[in-house]
Amino acid sequence: MVRVTAAVLESGGRILIAKRPVGAPLAGYWEFPGGKIEEGEDPRACLARELREELGITAEIGDVLVHHVHRYPHVTIELLSYRATVQLGDIEVRDHEAVRWVLPEEFCEYSFAPADLATVRWLQEHAGGARHCPATTGPQP
């Protein structure tokens, strides 16, 4: 099992999502930024490190919003999605093809990596009136 973290970065009601680059596993899918927890690493420290590396920001990592296990045919992912707040720096696109700030009701327009769908659903349920997407979101990449 691979343990990974993801950030739910919010600003003005919008959530930051990132598109996986060409050549990466699940290329073309959107996700919440984050990454793999290294051996012995604290999950919050992992997420802070990943946000520095991927987006060039310093972030305060808050509470876990979603703890989900997803089984792909080739690997099982344990995903911890945390609320996070940008403390310092401007978002830079370093490891992704693109990033966007979107409202939860706009999630249906994007094709999210399957492991991220539990976080998508949680955010829609807690967004107050946001429409719910079908089991998968948006057109497949």
Q: What is the pLDDT of residues 52-101, one digit of tens each?
A: 999 999 999 999 999 999 999 999 999 999 999 999 999 999 999 999 99
- Residue 70 to residues 21, 37, 105, 114, 124, Cα–Cα distance (Å): 21, 16, 23, 8, 19
In this structure, is residue 137 part of a structural domain?
no
Is the separation of the CB atoms in 18 and 9 below 8 Å? no
Query: What CATH code is carried by the domain that includes residue 111?
Result: 3.90.79.10
Q: Which two tokens stand for residue 102?
A: 């979107």
In this structure, is residue 15 part of a structural domain?
yes
The pLDDT of residue 129 is above 60? no
HEC letters along 67-105: EEEEECCCCEEEEEEEEEEEEECCCCCCCCCEEEEECHH
Q: How far apart are CA 38 and CA 107, in angstroms?
A: 29
In this structure, is residue 132 part of a structural domain?
no
pTM: 0.90
The pLDDT of residue 9 is above 90? yes
Residue 26 lies in domain: 2-125
Tally of domains within the chain:
1
